[in-house]
Structure 1
Amino acid sequence: MPTPGPMPTARLLRRAAATLLSVPALLLTLPATAPAAPTPVPPARGSAHMGVGIQAHEGRGGGLPAGVRVAQTEGVDVSSHQKDVDWPKLWGSGVKWAYVKATEGSYYKNPYFGQQYEGSYDVGMIHGAYHFAAPDDSGGAEQATYFADGGGSWSPDGRTLPGVLDIEWNPYGAACYGKTPAQLVSWIRDFLTTYKTRTGRAALIYTSTNWWRDCTDNYAGFGTTNPLWIARYNTTVGELPAGWEYQTIWQYTSTGPTVGDHNKFNGPLTGVKSLATG
């Protein structure tokens, strides 16, 4: 039998075309590269609350404090996320004090502030207000004035706590608000100075050790003048920012048994009353 010769070029082309036609259409329509992941959409301005940036950067959760050396007094912090709060239920669960978000930046006021602030007072709690800082929006002095005028002032009635500056990871953009450590320290100082001038009280500072170290270069200058409210979702408070030997309040969980974040005042109820009295 004669040895077959090379297949004609025309026949090779016809066979190749038939092979391509047998490939499933799905394979022929696959994109060359996978589509890009959607860009995360930042939350709406005004929606921030205590711990929102800390939860995003450092994790949620928490547990019951262990090994504390002095009596601790339970409290909560709330914002518009909780809407109308059942204050009698919280009071019945053992919560004795509350902080309510009043303002943010120089552009937002909590629409539930009245129900939350007055409601906590009406059931017998010692209450106060906090301001969510937005150093990329306006100056510290301007925001302190906005806060004091928007519910963050202080009253010598024995049941109103001094205001709080909530300064933490930025939920809307650059973690340190696009500022250098020196610029942030100056901004915080302007806020604190103006608030004390307006109210006669030194504001508390709410923050996390990680943010304070990264964004203020662990500045130690406020520890002797402004009480510390530290956020750490664990069973121990851990390392504190420079300048503070102890915390006044510890936010120990973002997933408490009732509404709001749960906190321990570092002392008995008489200590809470003393802070309110000034």
Structure 2
Amino acid sequence: MSGKLNRTVTGRGRRWWAALLALAAVLGMTLVGVTPAGAAVQTAARATQVEVEGLDLFLDTQNGTDWVAAANSGRRFVYAIATVGADGDGFTAGFATKTAGAREAGMFVGAYHMANPAALHPTARLAATQANFFVDNGGAWSAATQTLPGALMLGPDPNFQETCSFLTQSEMVAWIREFVDTYRARTGRNPVIATSRSWWEQCTGGSRAFGSLPLWTNVNTSGPVPVLPDGWRSYTFLLYDRGPVPGVDGTRACETCEHEVSLDRFNGSEAQLLAFANNTQ
């Protein structure tokens, strides 16, 4: 399959390669975490017994993906990385090529953007710049096309490995709001917020400003139900484990995970997933 996420040979590219692997952990490559002592815990009860299985691809696969096999295994949706920062910073995801087979196999497809609020270039760090770059390079949305709204992945700074990208909590909240507003103006949809409780608490101060947006989070307790970031009462997508998926070679999705990829669930039925994709719910 063409359009692979390519590694550059520059120093900056090498930093991104390591940083992207680290940032993927935000959604739970390590699925057991600790709730801060004294924190007000918001635990998500499963709203429905029906959940739709999917997966997410952090990096492109080395040998291509057999999307028919993945779909036949029960995976009905996929989120895949489309953009990083404001210019890819040394990477080309080839999102449309990478996911075309998933659409042909009848899967719902979504793109995610890896935020970089503290980019080296002052203009590139702007949330509006990154939101527009995302929309123009795979993150766009349109109704009745099996397309899920784009997701904004928030985690440690990819350039410096600094957890909150050198932003204060109020600055981070303002950055997220600008990205959300720009994405909504361009697409008519709110983006999915992809983050962990621990990062959200540390870097936004537990902001409740975005609780009406769809949430993609991870299992961060020893039980099957996640502890949600402040502001949310339920999740839309849940990264619950890693494991093999027929047709998907995950060796480049996680260099130490052999053939495992990230496994996700949509909190609802397939009819509800269709309504979510088409914005008719």
- TM-score normalised by the chain length of structure 2: 0.75
How far apart are 1:58 and its partner, in Å?
6.9
Unaligned stretches of 5+ residues in structure 2: 1-11, 33-44, 120-124, 251-260
Q: What amino acid is aligned across from residue 106 of structure 1 in structure 2?
A: A
Instruction: Note closer, same or farther for the CA distance 1:144–1:273 as it changes in structure 2 (3 Å cut).
Output: same
The match for 1:44 is: 15
**Alpha carbons 2:113, 2:151 under 8 Å: kept:** yes
Question: Map of 1:118-197 to 2, 5 A cutoff?
Answer: 118-137=100-119, 138-172=125-159, 173-197=161-185
Q: What amino acid is aligned across from residue 270 of structure 1 in structure 2?
A: A
The match for 2:187 is: 199
Q: What is the distance in 1 between the residues matched to 2:148 and 2:103?
A: 11
- TM-score normalised by the chain length of structure 1: 0.76
The match for 2:25 is: 55
**Alpha carbons 1:139, 1:187 under 8 Å: kept:** yes
**Alpha carbons 2:81, 2:113 under 8 Å: kept:** yes
Deviations 1:118-171 (A, max 9, x none): 111011101111100011111111100000011100011241111110112335
Instruction: Note closer, same or farther for the CA distance 1:76–1:56 as it changes in structure 2 (3 Å cut).
Output: closer
How far apart are 1:117 and its partner, in Å?
1.8
**Alpha carbons 1:251, 1:262 under 8 Å: kept:** yes
**Alpha carbons 1:206, 1:231 under 8 Å: kept:** no
For residue 131 of structure 1, give the secondary structure of its aligned residue in structure 2. Answer: strand
**Alpha carbons 1:57, 1:169 under 8 Å: kept:** no
Moved over 4 A (4+): 46-49, 56-59
The match for 2:214 is: 227
**Pair member with larger Rg:** 1
How far apart are 1:88 and its partner, in Å?
1.5
Q: What is the distance in 2 between the residues matched to 1:59 and 1:161?
A: 23
Q: Size of the alignment, in residue pairs?
A: 231
Q: What is the distance in 2 between the residues matched to 1:57 and 1:151?
A: 21
**Alpha carbons 1:80, 1:112 under 8 Å: kept:** no
Q: What is the distance in 1 between the residues matched to 2:29 and 2:17?
A: 21
Q: What amino acid is aligned across from residue 274 of structure 2 in structure 1?
A: K
Instruction: Note closer, same or farther for the CA distance 1:74–1:58 as it changes in structure 2 (3 Å cut).
Output: closer
Q: What is the distance in 2 between the residues matched to 1:85 and 1:99?
A: 14
Unaligned stretches of 5+ residues in structure 1: 1-40
For residue 45 of structure 1, give the secondary structure of its aligned residue in structure 2. Answer: helix
The match for 1:79 is: 58
Q: What amino acid is aligned across from residue 213 of structure 1 in structure 2?
A: E
The match for 2:42 is: none
The match for 1:18 is: none
For residue 192 of structure 1, give the secondary structure of its aligned residue in structure 2. Answer: helix
Q: Please tell me whether residue 95 in structure 1 is matched to residue 96 in structure 2.
A: no
**Out of 237, 240, 248, which is 1:249 matched to?**
237
Instruction: Note closer, same or farther for the CA distance 1:52–1:268 as it changes in structure 2 (3 Å cut).
Output: farther
Q: Please tell me whether residue 106 in structure 1 is matched to residue 68 in structure 2.
A: no
**Out of 179, 194, 198, which is 1:210 matched to?**
198
Q: What amino acid is aligned across from residue 79 of structure 2 in structure 1?
A: Y
For residue 205 of structure 1, give the secondary structure of its aligned residue in structure 2. Answer: strand
- Larger RCO (CA under 8 A, 6+ residues apart): 2
Instruction: Note closer, same or farther for the CA distance 1:101–1:110 as it changes in structure 2 (3 Å cut).
Output: farther
Deviations 1:60-106 (A, max 9, x none): 257xxxx9542110011113342422212211211001111110001
**Alpha carbons 2:81, 2:93 under 8 Å: kept:** no
Q: What amino acid is aligned across from residue 106 of structure 2 in structure 1?
A: G
Across the aligned residues of Structure 1 and Structure 2, the Cα RMSD in angstroms comes to: 2.5
